[in-house]
Chain A
Amino acid sequence: MITETRDLPMKVEPATNYLNVEHSIRSWLLTTDHKRIGLLYMVSITLFFFIGGAAATLMRLELLTPQGDLVTSATYNKLFTIHGVVMVWFFLIPSIPTVLGNFLVPMMIGARDVAFPRLNLASWYLFMAGGAFALFAIITGGVDTGWTFYTPYSSTYANGHVIAMAAGIFIAGFGSIATGLNFIVTIHKMRAPGLTWFRLPLFIWTIYTTSIIFVLATPVLAITLALMALERAFGVGIFNPAMGGDPLLFQHLFWFYSHPAVYIMILPGMGVVSELIPCFARKRLFGYNFVAYATVAIGVFGFLVWGHHMFVSSQSIYAGMIFSVLSFAVSIPSAIKVFNWTATLYKGSITFQTPMLYALGFIGLFTIGGLTGLFLASLAVDVPLHDTYFVIAHFHYIMVGGMVMGYLGGLHFWWPKISGRLYCEWLAKLSAVTIFLGFNLTFFPQFILGFLGMPRRYPVYAPEFQVLNVLSTSGASILAIGYLLPLAYLLWSLRYGKPAGANPWQATGLEWTTASPPPRDNFETTPVVTAGAYAYDAQLAESEAARHV
């Protein structure tokens, strides 16, 4: 794919790379290197993952028994709020874009860095400042409104540090906007010579679309949280029925952001899968153009469906019908992607390394999650399912079964590039399988529970639901082990892992043409691109030809 030749021997770590070029704390905290910033984010979101996970652990422990015997109802409200806020805004939304996106976007397009490196660093500080406010809110007693902050409860009646939490999300939101803006400009303006849009890796298409969502949706969240906080602080506002206000205005504004936000929380995962499947099936991605168009379609259509969160809110039934139809439509581009990944697998030479296990898991679990979304998009069916565990299972299948598996798959795939080391393969495979099994045991029972009528956000439930809840909690404990293992062996590999070499997976893509770990400016010379992405068939033909010489 590239005209320049690779000079480096396969398995030697280069003397100077972006990791060892400087060692001081200052060089990390004031870095403008997109790769280091990606690592700063990696550490931060991992910390937040454990905080959100701790809240979930306590919730699942409480739900072992039908009575509310581990924590009070008030505490339980705080737990699900903390779990939602932290996992959504401080873990999943940043995850792939700020870790893998920051590390890979410039490399995949043959650039030395992003368009605005100092803005990139600023975005991390905004994220951390927002996180500090959120942690303050948690430590000083928590918030019990749910991650959705519905008014008038949040703006008038709730106790707790709602304003501090809202401030944290507001500030972190500007970090997201900065990241999105940076990626959009970088991808438009800094592609290497010959790298046209339709030669880009699909990961770049998904990061680009995700970035568009960041910049168009997040400002609305910002103003909405600000309005809610003002109402709370001053006792006047536009969501307060006593003043002639409408709580549904809050919901429209909130979901205008939060629905596209869920596409932020899946598109990058889809981008990773589009990189992994061709590599581990040694085959070009089937229907590249369709997958690219489907990506943009998901991003655009995702803005048109938010009212499906409000079917039972007393929103106009006519609006409900419009949102329902549009919600069915938005599933189509996602289905197109699943078909194309499957077609790529057909007649491929498939191997089952760890990243591939995650990619295959993603396809299956995302499909289940997506199909169950159609039940919820149907107005009549949503009425009994709204606010039940069915909804919870639906979005966890997509966000955890999909996106988190995509994040882990991508982390494992690009770990050799990021660290220059290989991890322990059998342990990694074991973790992937553990996660897959633990995940399904945790969340599949929740579909049944929701169908049977168990409502969400309650620490108590009818006794006949106990068996399924116990199964779910057992699954969660297995899932937890699955998540802890990679932390252990990936850290271990930093010290003791075998050197990886430039391209341990024999993958196509500009990032694999440079050393592992890469030099500070990514490439020795700017690459020139002459062919499209995923040229695995060309690679195969080359090696065949070489053998027959």
Chain B
Amino acid sequence: MSDPAATHAHQFDDAMQQREAATFGMWIFLATEVLFFGGMFLGYTVYRFAYPEAFAEASRHTLLSFGGTNVAVLLISSATMAFAVRAARERKRTALVWLLLTTAALGTLFLGIKGFEYAHEISEHLLPGKSFQFGGAHAEMFFYLYFLMTGVHALHVTIGVVLIAIFAFRAWRSDAFAQHDTPVDLLGLYWHFVDIVWVFLFPLIYLIDRHS
């Protein structure tokens, strides 16, 4: 697992210490992301308790089939990413490249579906602002939170896709991760986190009240 011939940066004593430090550091970064998204989730919670009917009605105007498909897309991309991390560990370059590309493709599919939803919602005048036409201020609050939270999430997905594509290219071109696969591990952690955020966002946006 840990290659005794692997080099390590000069501040570390050995490759194992470096790997543990990098992984721990990544988890601390993810904790900061939990709190970053958390501020928006708090805002959502406050206003959902304040305006339950408006939020329920507004939620029914989101495209459930698209949102639900997107959950599946990201869950499967998490699986392909997990396999990619394992391929990197096992020094299987071809598998690594294909799995990374598949993950990136699924991430891009997510963004495409999201983009389609946004275009649809904007054409239905659900974008908050001067052209908003739907319910009152409370429904507009829901849609503000919708665009905000899914938008910040989509930004994170985009960054992830770009990084995965770069990693795929570097793995293919120069077998960059043969000696040092930790970066793939760390990118995997980031990608899984992005998936978890969507897992929580999905019911809050799309499933408030589908039974009335």
Check A-B contact in the complex, CB < 8 A.
yes
Residues in chain A within 8 A of chain B (CB atoms): 106, 111-117, 177, 181-182, 184-185, 188-190, 215-220, 222-224, 227, 230, 234-238, 242-246, 249, 252-253, 521
CA distance A230 to B149 in the complex (A): 13
Chain A, Cβ-Cβ closest to B37: A223
Chain B, Cβ-Cβ closest to A180: B28
Q: Which residues of A contact B35 (CB under 8 A)?
A: 216-217, 219-220
Contact of B25 among A185, A216, A230, A521 (CB under 8 A): A185
Contacting pair B47 A244 (CB below 8 A): yes
Interface residue B1 (Cβ < 8 Å from any Cβ of A): no
Contacting pair B46 A246 (CB below 8 A): yes
Contacting pair B42 A253 (CB below 8 A): yes
Contacting pair A223 B39 (CB below 8 A): yes
Closest-CB distance, B138 to chain A (whole angstroms): 5
For the complex with contacts A181-B29, A217-B35, A234-B128, 16 further pairs of A-B residues with Cβ separation under 8 Å are A181-B32, A190-B12, A215-B28, A216-B31, A216-B35, A219-B32, A222-B36, A223-B36, A227-B43, A235-B129, A238-B43, A238-B141, A244-B138, A246-B46, A249-B43, A253-B39
Of B16-24, B73-81, B89-97, B199-207, which stretch is located at the interface? B16-24
Closest-CB distance, B11 to chain A (whole angstroms): 4
Closest-CB distance, A155 to chain B (whole angstroms): 13
Q: Which residues of A contact B116 (CB under 8 A)?
A: none
Contacting pair B17 A189 (CB below 8 A): yes
Contact of B128 among A185, A189, A236, A249 (CB under 8 A): A236
CA distance A404 to B28 in the complex (A): 29
Residues in chain B within 8 A of chain A (CB atoms): 9-12, 17, 20-21, 24-25, 28-29, 31-33, 35-40, 42-43, 46-47, 50-51, 128-129, 137-138, 140-141, 144-145, 148
Contacting pair A215 B32 (CB below 8 A): yes
Closest-CB distance, B147 to chain A (whole angstroms): 9
CA distance A223 to B17 in the complex (A): 33
Q: Which residues of A contact B47 (CB under 8 A)?
A: 238, 244-245
Chain B, Cβ-Cβ closest to A243: B137
CA distance A219 to B17 in the complex (A): 27
Contact of B32 among A113, A177, A235, A242 (CB under 8 A): A177
The 6 closest A-B pairs by CB, nearest first: A223-B39, A113-B11, A219-B36, A219-B35, A236-B128, A219-B32
Q: Which residues of B contact A230 (CB under 8 A)?
A: 148
Contact of A227 among B9, B10, B20, B39 (CB under 8 A): B39
Contacting pair A115 B43 (CB below 8 A): no
Contacting pair B33 A219 (CB below 8 A): yes
Contact of A244 among B9, B20, B21, B141 (CB under 8 A): B141
Closest-CB distance, B54 to chain A (whole angstroms): 9
Closest-CB distance, B46 to chain A (whole angstroms): 6
Closest-CB distance, B79 to chain A (whole angstroms): 28
Q: Which residues of A contact B138 (CB under 8 A)?
A: 244
Check A115/B128 contact, CB under 8 A, given A224-B39, A243-B137.
no
Check A215/B31 contact, CB under 8 A, given A189-B17, A189-B20, A223-B36.
yes
Closest-CB distance, A288 to chain B (whole angstroms): 26
Q: Which residues of A contact B20 (CB under 8 A)?
A: 189
29 A-B contacts, Cβ less than 8 Å apart?
Answer: A115-B25, A185-B24, A185-B28, A188-B24, A189-B17, A189-B20, A217-B35, A218-B32, A219-B33, A219-B38, A220-B35, A220-B36, A223-B37, A223-B40, A224-B39, A227-B40, A230-B148, A234-B128, A234-B129, A235-B129, A236-B129, A236-B140, A237-B144, A238-B47, A242-B137, A243-B141, A244-B50, A252-B42, A521-B10
CA distance A106 to B47 in the complex (A): 46
Closest-CB distance, B12 to chain A (whole angstroms): 7
Q: Which residues of A contact B11 (CB under 8 A)?
A: 106, 111-115, 117, 190
CA distance A181 to B40 in the complex (A): 23
Closest-CB distance, A222 to chain B (whole angstroms): 6
Check A190/B141 contact, CB under 8 A, given A223-B36, A230-B148.
no
Chain A, Cβ-Cβ closest to B148: A230
Contacting pair A112 B10 (CB below 8 A): yes
CA distance A246 to B129 in the complex (A): 18
Closest-CB distance, B151 to chain A (whole angstroms): 10
CA distance A116 to B183 in the complex (A): 14
Contacting pair B25 A116 (CB below 8 A): yes
CA distance A190 to B145 in the complex (A): 43
Contacting pair B144 A238 (CB below 8 A): yes
Contacting pair A181 B36 (CB below 8 A): no
Check A238/B145 contact, CB under 8 A, given A220-B38, A249-B46.
yes
Q: Which residues of B contact A234 (CB under 8 A)?
A: 128-129
Q: Which residues of B contact A237 (CB under 8 A)?
A: 144
Check A181/B28 contact, CB under 8 A, given A223-B36, A249-B46.
yes
Closest-CB distance, B23 to chain A (whole angstroms): 10
Q: Which residues of B contact A182 (CB under 8 A)?
A: 25
Pick from B31, B38, B51, B144 the residue with the most CB of A within 10 Å: B144
Pick from B35, B38, B140 the residue with the most CB of A within 10 Å: B35
Pick from B21, B37, B43 the residue with the most CB of A within 10 Å: B43
